[in-house]
Amino acid sequence: MRRRTPLGLFTPALIGVAFLGIPLVAVVAKAPWSDVPGLLWSSDARTALRLSLECSGGALLLSLLIGVPLAWVLARVDFPGKSVLRSLIMVPLVLPPVVGGVALLLAFGRHGLLPLHIAFTTWAAIAAEAFVALPFLVLAVEGALLSLEPQYEEVAATLGHGAFATFRRVTVPLIAPALAAGSALAWARALGEFGATVTFAGSLPGTTQTLPSDIYLELETNPNKAIALSVLLLFVSVLVLFALRGRWRVSR
């Protein structure tokens, strides 16, 4: 027998859908559609877009370079304090991004623990974005490594391949779907990063002013342009979600 959906659950659920859906609809509904192409094509919008793509691409590259080996170590090597390290890597997921920016400033800023003199440069924007994007990639890749049958890597060893060759020729191809999904999520997170970036890198047009900080500043002076840029980012987010189609799971 099918039971009727109780109203006490149905109503809040419907409110939830409206709460999530209406803002998205509003961006689309309120967009000055006739002006959108012109607004997006303006030179400073193009600069912000190009910078955003460069920074998020750089952040993804950095995340891959350090995140994949990190995930491999977490999945394959036993050492004391591993669970602590894993929690540490997950911190940026829950840390307020602005706090992340402050932390980066205190670590790598001019008077930081390890002064790299990159604060308020494009490198700082890349670092800030990688800081928040990294956990997404590590989670996806580690989950895939843990669920991978160890036999494939063992067979590769008996076929004469050392650990690194095995990783490159067997492990990476086998986890490719998870690697792609993790990359898409990490990239999307980097593209939308705002709090850590403005704190650590500032918002200098052409150097560190990415789309989100551009939107934030334009909202005061040129709201139509802010909305047009928001439509663009919303579109990109939906595209990423569509490409993933629920493939991403944090599996242990």
Partner 1 sequence: MTVLDVDVTGQRGEFTVRAQLSAAAGEVIALVGPNGAGKSTLLRLVAGLVPAQGCVRIDGTDMTAQPPERRPVGWVPQQSALFPHLTAVDNVAFGIGGRRARSHSLDWLERLGIAELATRKPAQLPGGQAQKVALARALARQPRVLLLDEPLAALDAVGRTDVRRTLRAHLSAFDGVTIAVTHDAVDVATIADRIVAVDSGHVVQDDSVAEAMRRPRTRWLASMLGSNACHGHVRDRGIDVDGGGRLVASDLPPAEDAEVLVVFAPQAVTLHSRPPEGSARNAWRVVVRDLVDAGGRVRVDADGAPSVVAEVTPAAVAELGLHEGALVWVSVKATELTVVPL
Nearer to partner 1, 34 or 158 (CB): 158
Taking Cα atoms as reference points, which of 183, 229, 184 lies closest to residue 51?
A: 229
Q: Which residues of 118-156 are buried (b: 16+ CB within 10 A; e: fewer)?
A: bbbbbbbbbbbbbbbbbbbbbbbbbbbbeebeeeebeeb
Taking Cα atoms as reference points, which of 213, 232, 204 lies closest to residue 27?
A: 232
Nearer to partner 1, 169 or 247 (CB): 169
- Which of 79, 151, 245, 252 is close enough to bind partner 1 by CB under 8 A? 151
CA 188 – CA 239 distance, rounded (Å): 10
- Minimum gap (Å) between residue 158 Cβ and partner 1: 4
Q: Could you tell me the two tokens for 175?
A: 């986890």
- Binding to partner 1 (CB under 8 A) within 165-184 occurs at 169-170, 173-174, 176
Task: Pick the stretch among 65-73, 96-104, 109-117, 156-164 that binds partner 1 (CB under 8 A).
Answer: 156-164
When asked if residue 77 is in the footprint of partner 1 (CB under 8 A), the reply is: no
When asked if residue 152 is in the footprint of partner 1 (CB under 8 A), the reply is: yes
Residue type, 238: V
Residues 222 and 128: beta-carbon distance below 8 Å: no
When asked if residue 162 is in the footprint of partner 1 (CB under 8 A), the reply is: yes
- Which of 26, 65, 155, 243 is close enough to bind partner 1 by CB under 8 A? 155
Nearer to partner 1, 90 or 172 (CB): 172
CA 22 – CA 18 distance, rounded (Å): 5
When asked if residue 86 is in the footprint of partner 1 (CB under 8 A), the reply is: no
Taking Cα atoms as reference points, which of 113, 111, 116, 142 lies closest to residue 127?
A: 116
When asked if residue 234 is in the footprint of partner 1 (CB under 8 A), the reply is: no
Site residues, partner 1 (CB under 8 A): 149, 151-152, 154-162, 169-170, 173-174, 176
